[in-house]
Amino acid sequence: MTDRLTPEQRHRVMSRIYGKGTKPELKVRQWLWRHGYRYRLNVKSVPGKPDIVMRRYRTAIFVNGCFWHGHHVETFQETSLQMVNSKCCKIPQTNREFWVNKIKRNQERDQKNYQLLHDNGWQVIVIWECQLTPKRIEETMLRVELLLNEHFLALHQPKVIPYDVQETPISIAAEEENYGKR
Ligand SMILES: [Zn+2]
């Protein structure tokens, strides 16, 4: 089936369909801000230009549109153009080849960016648009918060733990004292 529209016109139509409502990225930013997290946007010095950069947590967050980044779509290697729709990424039948190629390119670029960030010591968190519905946003963001804090702990953990935490409970005051000596 051929498309009546030029790729540019089609792009505008698809943007209108899939870009409705509050931008997913904005929902994430608002949640983080309300919960006291501070971040920077469009930091050019960080590879892959993540949507949100949290230096304190050495974490880069990408907020991905399910359509553009092919959330949950299945691809088959033998026939490189075959891609199976998912619940949140429905590729149009019209001009399908064009869209499959576009989504594949986006996915490849994503993977390269994530890898580059990872190699540079960044934690990468990918949040999908479908995880930000009113029903799911709280659960999603609590998971993000957990990842942030776990990573922060990992970054700042003392190299040697001089006692068995479970067997020898130690008061915070005593721990502070030990910490000062190291
Ligand atoms: Zn999705």
pTM listed for this prediction: 0.74
CA–CA distance, 51 with 45 (Å, rounded to integer): 13
Distance from the CA of 93 to the center of ligand 1, in angstroms?
19
Give the distance (Å) from ligand 1 centre to CA of residue 71. 5
7, amino acid identity: P
Query: 8 falls in which pLDDT band (50, 70, 90)?
Result: confident
Classify strands 59-64 and 52-54 as parallel, antiparallel or unpaired: antiparallel
Q: How far is the CA of 129 from the centre of ligand 1 (A)?
A: 6
Distance between Cα 128 and ligand 1 center (Å)? 5
CA angle 83/86/92 to nearest 5° reads 60
Question: Ligand 1 centre from 70 Cα, in Å?
Answer: 8
Measured in angstroms, how far is the CA atom of residue 73 from the centroid of ligand 1?
9
pLDDT tens-digit readout, 142-174:
999 999 999 999 998 776 656 555 566 556 665
Span from the CA of 156 to the centroid of ligand 1 (angstroms): 33
Segments of 46-122 assigned E as strands: 52-54, 59-64, 74-75, 83-84
SS3 (DSSP) at 151: helix
Going from the Cα of 103 to the center of ligand 1, the distance in angstroms, rounded, reads 13
Closest CA relative to residue 124, chosen from 110, 134, 137, 138: 110
Domains of the chain: 7-181 (3.40.960.10)
Give the number of other CB atoms < 10 A from CB of residue 171. Answer: 8
Kindly compute the dihedral angle of the four CA atoms of residues 96, 102, 108, 109, in this order, to the nearest 10 degrees.
Answer: -160
pLDDT tens profile 21-53: 569 999 999 999 999 999 998 788 888 889 999
Ligand 1 centroid to residue 122 C-alpha, Å? 24
